[in-house]
Chain A
Amino acid sequence: DTEVTQTPKHLVMGMTNKKSLKCEQHMGHRAMYWYKQKAKKPPELMFVYSYEKLSINESVPSRFSPECPNSSLLNLHLHALQPEDSALYLCASSQGRAGGVETQYFGPGTRLLVL
């Protein structure tokens, strides 16, 4: 199983809503990532978790709150978002070997629209 799954596929939310994005992998990977991709732009790294610990936060606003409850699951909690946060949110995973450079496997993404 080399699949990363993300739910939901699409999400529409108001600026006062609280919602969560979910990402799951069953490849035994110990590193997981959140990326944000605006239309016609490359993905931009938001967060990296390594062995369930947050290792990189790319100065992301606090209205985005990541959570890694176990090695297979990664959540992104959303609260008080702005319309400019509308984007495709991609999750990825990799083996997580310390000091190594690895192949990342990407999920299909969640298309988020903030009204």
Chain B
Amino acid sequence: AQSVTQPDIHITVSEGASLELRCNYSYGATPYLFWYVQSPGQGLQLLLKYFSGDTLVQGIKGFEAEFKRSQSSFNLRKPSVHWSDAAEYFCAVAMNTGGFKTIFGAGTRLFVKA
């Protein structure tokens, strides 16, 4: 069965420090992978996606993610975190099964300390 695991429920980093959020997926076919960010009480905003091609993908707000097939991972990184990055981050895997279906990980809550 398809699944997405985000092993860290929450992470705290200092402003200006680097960030890595982990994501592992389980899917038998070629994965289509996404990272979304959600501020409290808000909808989801797409940060970046991987469908094929270059395994290092760039997104908005200075985020990037690297797809590693051998590790079934799609970790999100940012070299220098800003206080405004504090939010919930969701990794997701998508498939087309007669209708487009997305499965989300449990999420990682990012706290940024001054």
When the two chains form their complex, are residues A42 and B107 in contact, meaning their CB atoms are under 8 A apart? yes
Interface residues on chain A, size class = 20 to 34
CA gap between A48 and B96 in the complex, in Å: 11
CB < 8 Å: which of B97, B100, B105 contacts A94? Answer: B100
Q: Is A34 an interface residue (CB 8 A)?
A: no
Interface residues on chain B, size class = 20 to 34
Q: Which of B18-40 contact A (CB under 8 A)?
A: 32, 34, 36
Instruction: Chain B residues near A86: list those with CB within 8 A.
Output: none
When the two chains form their complex, are residues A103 and B104 in contact, meaning their CB atoms are under 8 A apart? no
Q: Is B90 an interface residue (CB 8 A)?
A: yes
Q: A90-B43, A108-B42 are in contact. Are A42 and B100 (CB under 8 A)?
A: no
Q: Is A14 an interface residue (CB 8 A)?
A: no
When the two chains form their complex, are residues B106 and A111 in contact, meaning their CB atoms are under 8 A apart? no
When the two chains form their complex, are residues A103 and B49 in contact, meaning their CB atoms are under 8 A apart? yes
CB < 8 Å: which of A40, A41, A90, A101 contacts B44? Answer: A90
When the two chains form their complex, are residues B96 and A100 in contact, meaning their CB atoms are under 8 A apart? yes
CB < 8 Å: which of B46, B106, B107 contacts A103? Answer: B46
Number of A-B pairs whose CB atoms are under 8 Å?
A: 65
CB < 8 Å: which of B34, B49, B90, B98 contacts A42? Answer: B90
When the two chains form their complex, are residues B43 and A48 in contact, meaning their CB atoms are under 8 A apart? no
Closest chain A CB from B28 CB (angstroms)? 15
When the two chains form their complex, are residues A43 and B41 in contact, meaning their CB atoms are under 8 A apart? no
Instruction: Chain A residues near B90: list those with CB within 8 A.
Output: 42-43
CA gap between A48 and B98 in the complex, in Å: 10
Q: List chain A positions with a Cβ less than 8 A from chain B.
A: 4, 31, 33, 40-45, 48, 50, 55-56, 88, 90, 92, 94, 96, 99-109, 111
Q: Return 16 A-B CB contacts under 8 Å, by A number.
A: A31-B100, A43-B90, A43-B104, A45-B101, A45-B102, A90-B44, A94-B100, A101-B51, A101-B95, A101-B100, A102-B94, A102-B100, A103-B34, A103-B49, A104-B102, A111-B41
